[in-house]
Chains A and B, each alone.
Chain A
């Protein structure tokens, strides 16, 4: 079953008539150079930008899904999360339960899963960039939404937390969720089931990493030579 599908998705000059579909239980990455349209794609798929074309979530036309239901079906993690008001970390994570109209369901487990228990009472304004990124990721998880769109969720994280977020994405996919995240590190493609490659608002490749992520594509899209070498591989213990 298709979890999220777009047909002719267009956002001004930033995204040009994209067609894509992600199945249920899939961990996918959207990659591309700066300004390729990755964030725009995620926001358009989340229904947060005025866009032309069709978007379907679990077979339902996005335009016909009531706003509250959207909060239960899809979670979007912004690239940068600013906080002007000093809410305690736990209160921010609880916000993810808004569409369910409850306060606590699963929040403590999520805090533990993202290694945030010791920060639960700390004001979100007094966190490092990486810590704040994890807090807002925890809020996205608290929604229990089966479609998770994360915009650069690991850009500010240290090696261990980055690997943990990737493992979390994998676990969610195994439980039937669909996770689409934008990432910059091309080497992370090995963790993914599907990769979407964007350049200048156009989809240049879409498929299993070992099929589409060729050195020729990398050279064309990113302008760098790719070759395989023995290198240090980082894994969680």
Chain B
């Protein structure tokens, strides 16, 4: 546990800075002092309204999506014993998006606050089940990526089909496009309640798994022989990682590469010990998403969060693949 405090402190400070930037930067700029004053209920009313009704939900959804996706990535990498496994690459995100898009396209997305996230969770579970069927544990990188390519193509095709069906309905097709590109703008407190509590609970449940994840990631049978209840751990990993991806996708759309880049980078920097890596990834993932969200406010309106994380993460994936070969 020696390397524990410094990276946590560093990433916590990074997250605080990212939160202040996320709350302060935009069409109306606020200094950190103004942000803190407004959050405490002081300052002028306009600042308070912008912060409480617009910026804070956006920031909280970003935190939930980033922490959820990164934690999900760590769990999947340990599960598949492959550092390249991640929700986006394996198609779990697109499965979640397909679920959400399906209920939106058929006009039942608005029936309840929980319809979209539940559909997203269902879609993500279908994707996880398919990945498990296509690429058994300990599968090679090629197997995993091919399984992901196949699922992404399949879910992408269904989503595109739904998009073309709803081409005439501007509002519905706009919502669907939102899921495809990923983004945390125009989020409301409803989205926060939809995603954040579930993500917090799932993250909390994942924290004590660290030591078992370490053993599991070096082999399933030998983990069982050392006294790890492998069957139970597998279910915990599948359920938690899928729920986290689904909730992130339900509130922020398909935001790629977070689950791949963040755990991988932190593993390179601070080592593979999951007792540290899991909480560090949650902090790092939240900071990464908030930082990637900043250019979307300053640059053109076409710049979406999913686009920025892909621009940041794509080259990183290519670098990793090159390193492995």
Contacts and interface: CB of A to CB of B under 8 A. Distances in A.
B31 interface: no
A99 B227 contact: yes
Interface string B178-221: 00000000000000000000000000000000011011011101
Contacts of B273: 87, 91
Interface in B137-174: 138
Q: By DSSP majority rule, is chain B's interface helix, strand, loop, or mixed? A: loop
Interface centre among A67, A77, A92, A96 (most CB of B within 10 A): A67
B37 interface: no
Contacts of A70: 225, 227
Nearest to B84: A84
Contacts, number: 76
B134 interface: no
Interface residues of B, number: 23
B53 interface: no
Given A76-B221, A81-B222, A91-B214, A86 B271 contact: yes
Nearest to B227: A71
Contacts of B229: 67-68
A95 B221 contact: no
A194 interface: no
Contacts of A46: 225
Contacts of B133: none
Contacts of A88: 271
B272 interface: yes
A199 to B, nearest CB: 24
Contact of A98 (B138, B211, B271): B211
B83 A85 contact: yes
A124 B222 CA distance: 16
A82 interface: yes
A72 interface: yes
Nearest to A78: B222
Interface centre among B83, B224, B225 (most CB of A within 10 A): B225
Interface string B214-252: 110111011011111100000000000000000000000
B81 interface: yes
A87 B227 contact: no
B215 A95 contact: yes
Contact of A68 (B83, B214, B227, B267): B227
Contacts of B271: 86-88
Given A70-B227, A91-B273, A99-B226, A84 B221 contact: no
B81 A96 contact: no
Contacts of A124: 218
A210 B61 CA distance: 73
Contacts of B272: 85-87
A107 interface: no
A123 to B, nearest CB: 8
B82 interface: yes
Contacts of A92: 218
A86 B217 CA distance: 11
A78 B224 contact: no
A81 B218 contact: yes
B221 A48 contact: yes
Nearest to B232: A67
A74 B226 CA distance: 8
A76 B271 CA distance: 26
Given A84-B83, A85-B272, A86-B272, A71 B219 contact: no
Contacts of B217: 84-85
Interface in B254-280: 267, 271-273
A139 B217 CA distance: 15
B64 to A, nearest CB: 27
A92 B219 CA distance: 12
A96 B223 CA distance: 9
B14 to A, nearest CB: 24
Contacts of A139: 226
A29 to B, nearest CB: 20
A75 interface: yes
A90 to B, nearest CB: 11
A95 B219 contact: no
Contacts of B138: 82
A43 interface: yes
A72 B222 CA distance: 13
A229 to B, nearest CB: 40
Nearest to A100: B227
B43 to A, nearest CB: 48
Interface in A140-165: 143
Q: Which 5 A-B pairs have the closest CB atoms?
A: A71-B227, A99-B227, A85-B272, A76-B225, A68-B227
9 contacts: A67-B227, A70-B225, A81-B219, A82-B219, A84-B81, A85-B81, A86-B271, A98-B212, A136-B222
Given A71-B225, A85-B217, 6 more contacts: A67-B229, A71-B226, A81-B218, A95-B215, A95-B226, A136-B222
Interface of B: 81-83, 138, 211-212, 214-215, 217-219, 221-222, 224-229, 267, 271-273
